[in-house]
Chain A
Amino acid sequence: MTELRPDLALIAQNVAKGTRVLDVGCGDGTLLQVLRDERQCQVNGMEIDPGDVAECVGKGLSVIQGDADKDLAFYPDGAFDYAILSQTLQTTMRPDQVMEELLRIGRKAFVSFPNFAHWRVRLSLLWGGRMPVTRLLPVAWYETPNIHHLTVSDFRAFVEERGIKVEEAWYLSGDRLRGTSVANFRAEHAIFLLSRS
C-alpha cells in the first residue's frame, strides 16, 4: 500500500467506499490512487503542475490541469460526493470563493490546512519577530505559495459565518491526533469534513 501523508491517510479512511471524489490540488495522485484502489471510488483530480498531471495520467487517473481559483466553476452542482482540498486552501487567491465552489460541486468537502497558530509558529513570530519557517511551512515569506495563512480558530469562525456545517474535524501534530480544545495551539494542521447545513 502506498504510504500516505498523515492528513491524507485520515481523509482516505473517512471517505465512504464507492463514492465519487474530486481531489483539488491532487499532486502526483497518491490519494486518488488509494481511493480508487482501496476504496473503489470513482476518482477525479485537478492539479496546476503539468508534470504532476502527466504522472497522474500515467497512473490511469483522470486529472485536469487547472487552477482551483478559476476552473472549479466548470463542474456541475453536486457532481461529486466529496470534494477534497488538502493543504491547498492557503495557496488560493480567494479561499472563500474556493470553499463555496467546493461545497457546490461536492455534497461534502474535506479541507485541510496548516495551522498558523501552532505554538512553534507563535514562538517564532513572538521571539524571533520573523515570519515563521517551520516543518510544514518550510519556505521564506517572499517565495512561499502560502499567501493566505489561517488558524484553526479563523477557519471555525469562517465556517460558522458562512453557515457551513462541520461534520467532523481532526487535528494533527505530526501523525498524532490532538483534542479539539487545544487544537488552535497544539495542532500543526487541521482537517475538516464540511457540508452545507
Chain B
Amino acid sequence: MATAAVIAASEVLELTEPLPLDCGQQLEGVRIAYEAYGRLSPARDNVVLIQHATTGDQHVASPHPKTGKPGWWDRMVGPGKPIDTDRFFVLCANVLGSCMGSTGPGSLAPDGKPYAMRFPVITIRDMVRAQVALLDTLGIDKLYCVVGGSMGGMQSLSLAANWPHLPERIMVIAATATMPAQNIAFQEVGRQAITADPNWQQGAYYGTGKAPDAGLAVARMAAHITYLSEASLTEKFGRRLQDRASKTFGFDADFQVESYLRHQGASFTNRFDANSYLYITRAMSYFDLAEEHGGLLADAFRASDARFCVISFDTDWLYPTELSRKLVHALNASGAQVSFVELSAPFGHDSFLLEVPALDRVIAGFLSR
C-alpha cells in the first residue's frame, strides 16, 4: 500500500480583495500558500482543514522544501491514515505572517520593499480570516472538520467562534482558548532574544547579508524546551556528555542536551524568518477568545451547532489539561456537543506530532461519522 499522500495542489493564491485586519488596517495583495491532498467530492462535503502550529507550514504530508524532512504530520495524513486522503480533501495553508509563501513581514510591500516592521500586527483571527478567504476562492462553504494542534487549535477555535457556519466538526489538540501568562512570558523571552541581536537592525535586515540568527536560535532553544517534558529530556539525554569522556571546564556544549538544543536553534534559522517569529508569537500572546466575546468564553460558541473534540496530553506543561478543561466547561455551558480526552503520552506538548497511537484512534474515530 502506498503511504505517501498524493498532493492535489501546492499553490500560492493571491487574494483579489484587500484583507481587513483586527488592528484596523488592511493588507493588499495577500498571498496564501497552501497544499491540498486527496480529492474534493462533487458535493464539496469532504474538506478537512488542517491549521498548523507556530513554526509549522502547509507541508503537512509532503517533504519540506528547505529541510527535505517528511511533512510535519506525515504520520497522520495520507491514504489509510487517521486523516485519510482516500476519503477527505485535506487543505492546509501557511498562516498569514509566516515565511513559507504566505504574506508576512519578509514579503514585499506595495512599494516593492520588504514590509519588515511595517507589517501590521496580526491576530489569530486575522490568520483565520485569510484562510476563509482562501476557502471562498476555492468555492468551499462547508468544512467536514477543522483540525488544529497548539496554535493551530487556537485557529480552529477562532474559526468555530467567528465563522460558525463553516465547520461541522472541530478538533482542538493541545491548545487553549486564552493564552495564559506563562506562555506570554516564554514568548516574550523569544522576542527579546531576537530584538537584542544587533543583526536584527530594527527588523530591516532583509538584503543586508546579516540576519539575527543568533537571537532567533536562542528563541527557538527556549521554546523547544517548553515543547518537551522533563521525562523525555531525561530519557533522551540524561546527563550524558557529548562526544567526550569528561567535562571540559569550559562553555562548549559538554552535555548532549546542550548540543541538541544548539543544533535545534541553528537549524531553525535555516528555515524560519525572525520577524515572522515576532509577529506570530505576538498574535498568540494576544489570543483571548473570551475577551473577544464580552469576557464569557461560552458566548463564543453560542452560534455553533458543530461537534467539538478537545484533546490534551498529561505531560504537556505548556498547554496543560486544565486549559482544555476550561474550554470544555465553556463548551458545555454553551450547550455544544463536545468530547474531551486527556491522553497519556511522554513527549510533553510535542506529543501531538509524535507516535501516540491513542491520538490516532481518537482522530480517526472523531472523523469516522
Number of interface residues of B (CB under 8 A): 24
If over half of A's interface residues share one DSSP class (helix, strand or loop), that class is named, otherwise mixed; here it is mixed
> Within B315-369, which residues are at the interface with A (CB < 8 Å)?
325, 328-329, 332-333, 335, 337-344, 358, 361-362, 364-366, 368-369
> Is B175's CB within 8 Å of the partner chain A?
no
Q: Which residues of A contact B328 (CB under 8 A)?
A: 64, 74
Instruction: State in angstroms the CA–CA spacing of A55 and B309 once bound together.
Output: 13
Q: Mark A86-116, 1 if CB is under 8 A from B, else 0.
A: 0000000000000000000000000000000
Q: Which residues of A contact B368 (CB under 8 A)?
A: 58, 60
A57 and B337 contact, CB distance less than 8 A? no
Partner of A74, one of B332, B341, B344, B369: B332
In the complex, residue of chain B having the shortest beta-carbon distance to the beta carbon of A66: B340
Q: Which residues of B contact A54 (CB under 8 A)?
A: 341, 343, 358, 361-362, 365
B341 and A57 contact, CB distance less than 8 A? yes
> Is A84's CB within 8 Å of the partner chain B?
no
> Is B307's CB within 8 Å of the partner chain A?
yes
Q: Which residues of A contact B307 (CB under 8 A)?
A: 62
> Is A119's CB within 8 Å of the partner chain B?
no
Q: Which residues of A contact B342 (CB under 8 A)?
A: 50, 65
Q: How many A-B residue pairs have CB under 8 A?
A: 64
- Complex A-B, nearest 9 residue pairs according to Cβ-Cβ distance, in ascending order: A58-B365, A74-B329, A60-B369, A53-B341, A62-B337, A64-B340, A57-B365, A65-B341, A57-B339
With A63-B339, A64-B338 known, 20 other A-B pairs at CB within 8 A are: A50-B343, A53-B339, A54-B343, A55-B365, A56-B339, A57-B341, A57-B365, A57-B366, A58-B362, A58-B368, A60-B365, A62-B337, A62-B338, A64-B340, A66-B340, A74-B328, A74-B332, A74-B333, A76-B333, A79-B335
Can you list 11 A-B contacts (CB < 8 A)?
A44-B337, A50-B344, A50-B358, A54-B365, A57-B362, A59-B365, A60-B368, A61-B339, A63-B340, A65-B340, A66-B340
